[in-house]
């Protein structure tokens, strides 16, 4: 996909604040600190557009980024970060359920998993939730640059085995550092448009 324009559009915590232009939306879901913001920056070739942080749990809202004036990439709050109170976790859960289950503009979800490690408990729970709700989605195995090609292949097999994935289920190794996987991710996203 050729990126002509990309910009931060808005931040939302409830349905009244979502965009009203009817454009398609693609959501990025994953653990805190798995690299959702870095991935958005790399996909759009806009360094620093989506704010990155070394502090897990920094994204606490739905952040909408308008791409090519045609669709949004939506950075969801990271799951699995427990250094916030139970009330905040409950609010995040409600906010995500409201968005994911009731948003007609949502065309698909990209689940990010850290390629360096087997899927964690909350990765598996998020995967099961997406499967149970019959969402169009695929997996991006992020931080591929931290591993050799042979280690990538080995860990991709572990992800496939642990999640019991069908052979044709897309799992794309990705690196915001090197650009590995950028084209493949856009090819999958384009299937939803």
Domains annotated for the chain, with CATH where assigned, are 6-190 (3.40.50.300)
Residue found under tokens 């749990």: 57
The C-alpha atoms of residue 131 and residue 134 are separated, in whole angstroms, by 5
State the average pLDDT over residues 99-124: 94
State the average pLDDT over residues 161-187: 97
Res. 179: pLDDT tops 90? yes
Please tell me the predicted confidence (pLDDT) of residue 89. Answer: 45
For 39, the 3-state DSSP assignment is helix
Res. 161: pLDDT tops 90? yes
The C-alpha atoms of residue 70 and residue 25 are separated, in whole angstroms, by 9
Res. 177: pLDDT tops 70? yes
The closest of 133, 94, 90, 86 to 111, measured between CA atoms, is 133
Please tell me the predicted confidence (pLDDT) of residue 91. Answer: 54
Query: What phi, psi does 29 have (nearest 5°)?
Result: -120, 145
Q: pLDDT-based confidence at 50, cuts 50/70/90?
A: confident
Q: pLDDT-based confidence at 1, cuts 50/70/90?
A: confident
């Amino acid at each position: 996909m050729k990126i002509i324009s990309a910009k931060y559009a808005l931040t939302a915590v409830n349905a009244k604040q979502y965009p009203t232009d009817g454009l398609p939306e693609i959501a990025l879901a994953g653990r805190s600190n798995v690299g959702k913001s870095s991935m958005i920056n790399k996909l759009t070739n806009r360094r620093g557009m989506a704010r990155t942080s070394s502090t897990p749990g920094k994204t606490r809202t739905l952040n909408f980024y308008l791409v090519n004036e045609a669709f949004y990439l939506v950075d969801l709050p990271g799951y699995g970060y427990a250094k916030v109170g139970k009330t905040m976790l409950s609010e995040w859960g409600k906010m995500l359920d409201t968005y994911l289950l009731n948003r007609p503009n949502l065309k698909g979800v990209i689940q990010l998993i850290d390629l360096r490690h087997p899927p964690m408990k909350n990765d598996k729970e998020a995967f099961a939730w997406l499967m149970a709700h019959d969402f169009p989605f695929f997996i991006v195995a992020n931080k591929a640059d931290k591993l050799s090609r042979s280690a990538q292949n080995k860990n991709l097999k572990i992800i496939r085995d642990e999640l019991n994935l069908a052979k044709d289920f897309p799992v794309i190794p990705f690196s915001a550092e090197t650009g590995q996987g950028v084209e493949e991710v856009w090819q999958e996203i384009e299937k939803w448009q």
